[in-house]
Amino acid sequence: MTIIDGKKVSASVKEQVAEETKKLKEQGIVPGLAVILVGDDPASRVYVNNKKKACELVGFKSEEYALPATTTQEELLSLVRDLNERKDINGILCQLPLPKGLDENAVIEAISPMKDVDAFHKQNVGRIMLGDYDFLPCTPAGIMEMLHAYGISVEGKRCVVIGRSNIVGKPMAMLLLHENGTVTICHSRTKNLAEITREAEILVAAVGRAKFVTADMVGDGAVVIDVGMNRDENGKLCGDVDFENVKDKCSYITPVPGGVGPMTIATLMKNTLKAAKLQNF
Does 134 participate in catalysis according to the annotation? no
The beta-carbon contacts of 125-128 under 8 Å, at least 24 apart in sequence, are: 125/166, 125/171, 128/171, 128/174, 128/175
Q: Given strand 32-38, what is the order of strands in its sheet?
A: 61-67, 32-38, 91-94
SS (H, E, C) the chain: CEECCHHHHHHHHHHHHHHHHHHHHHCCCCCEEEEEEECCCHHHHHHHHHHHHHHHHHCCEEEEEEECCCCCHHHHHHHHHHHHHCCCCCEEEECCCCCCCCCHHHHHHHCCHHHECCCCCHHHHHHHHHCCCCCCCHHHHHHHHHHHHCCCCCCCCEEEEECCCCCCHHHHHHHHHHCCCEEEEECCCCCCHHHHHHCCCEEEECCCCCCCECHHHCCCCEEEEECCCEECCCCCEECCECHHHHHHHEEEECCCCCCHHHHHHHHHHHHHHHHHHHHHC
Annotated active-site residue in 14, 51, 157, 270: 51
Tell me which of 14, 115, 116, 118 is the catalytic residue. 118
**Does the annotation mark 73 as catalytic?**
no
95, 115, 134, 242: the catalytic one is 95
Query: Can you tell me the distance from the alpha carbon of 103 to that of 73, in angstroms, rounded to the nearest whole number?
Result: 7
Do 91 and 33 touch, CB atoms closer than 8 A? yes
List, by residue number, the catalytic residues.
51, 95, 118
